[in-house]
Amino acid sequence: MQPNTLPTGYNPSLPSGTSQEKSLRLIADKVLKGRRISVEEAVLLYQSAPLSWLGWLASVVRQRMHGNTTWYNRNFHIEPTNRCIYNCRFCSYNEHHNPDVWDYSLEQIKDLAATAPDDITEIHIVGGVALDRNTRYYANLITAVRSVKPTVCIKAYSAIEISYMAQIDQLPLEEVLKTLHQAGLDAIPGGGAEIFDAEIRQKICPEKDDANRWLEVHHTAHRMGIPTNATILYGHIENYQHRAEHLLRIRELQDETSGFLAFIPLKYKHANNPMGEAGEVSAAEDLRNYAVTRIFLDNVPHLKSYWPMIGRDIAQLSQWFGVDDLDGTIHDSTRIYSAAGAEDQQPDMTTESLERLIREAGFKPIERDSLYQPVSGSITTAP
């Protein structure tokens, strides 16, 4: 396929002859030429592009970046506590909205890490922002996990948690991150971004750090050589303009630092939290969001579909809407989405099941580590 032409057999399914159809074709032409789209063009795709056409366009981008490959990993989550100083209205996980409150000691966390299978390559650590926990505690937590699982990648602490460490200890972010990195931190997850728009943020998480602070934490980490992920919380009271502007700020920081490994759209789930009246968006909207995200974020390498959040069937289908990563085995080690009413109340998937999910959609599964390097012996045969 030439980069500036539509592929053979292309059937746009667009309303012929309309100004909207012309605008969508112009956007497609830009994408096929490898040029960026604007916020306004992203909003038009959200609002007006037929879903099948949008999936086709996102698949062109996905094919260009990753060919026929879909990644997965063997991972395990540790959630040290759901005590939290923040009372976000969308959260079903923290102590304000969840009657099941926990707060593990370091010995209990070591015991929990010991239950993880020996073949995992990543431990993912996030939790509530507890009032009395400082940088030294979180560094000791990493050391405790590392003592049990010395070879795994430790991806730990959202920007919100790291920001609070700096605040409670009155330290620069660089000092906090240096301490965590020396303790064994390898990468930082993307949580806490929610929606960057200040007005929406004031309505859904008014106590939490603003967007600038979230971006500052990730910028600092990137500058220090610590890779991170990024997220968006979508499907609540935001609109398409808010989503596109959020993506723009991620793209701009990535232009500067190249530090983001993956972007993960996180769907708002409405059970057991004060925003429940907002309901949930449809599976079609999930796929639309993946597609626009893949098209817009031309400089973030990977787009992840988190299967416990949207279900296995939609995660499988999402590979045809720009997604190239289905996350991992998880081993029933997270309660964040199960508390909010996710389909998988005990999220656990074998590598065989993940590979089958990928192959049945027509893609090639490759096991990865946290930095997207293929794991030795991973399956790379054609589907």
What's the predicted TM-score (pTM) here? 0.92
- Asked whether 224 and 234 are in contact (CB, 8 A), the reply is no
Residue 7's pLDDT is 47
- Asked whether 313 and 58 are in contact (CB, 8 A), the reply is no
Q: How confident is the model at residue 64 (pLDDT cuts 50, 70, 90)?
A: very high
Residue 315's pLDDT is 95
Residue 23's pLDDT is 93
Q: How confident is the model at residue 12 (pLDDT cuts 50, 70, 90)?
A: low
State the average pLDDT for the chain.
90
Q: Report whether pLDDT(222) > 70.
A: yes
Residue 132's pLDDT is 87
Between the alpha carbon of residue 75 and those of residues 127, 128, 156, 238, the distances in Å are 16, 20, 12, 31
Q: For the chain, which residues make up each domain, given as ranges?
A: 19-66, 69-367
- With helix as H, strand as E and coil as C, how does 159-176 read? HHHHHHHHHHHCCCHHHH
| CATH number of this structure's domain 69-367 | 3.20.20.70
Residue 15's pLDDT is 58
Helix-helix angle 39-48:240-257, to 10 degrees: 140
Residue 347's pLDDT is 65
Residue 271's pLDDT is 81
Residue 9's pLDDT is 45
Encoding tokens for residue 294? Answer: 């893949």
Give 57's DSSP letter: H
44-53 residue pLDDT tens: 999 999 999 9
Q: Report whether pLDDT(363) > 50.
A: yes
- Name the burial class of residue 337, with classes exposed (0-12), middle (13-18) and buried (19+) by CB atoms within 10 angstroms of its CB: buried
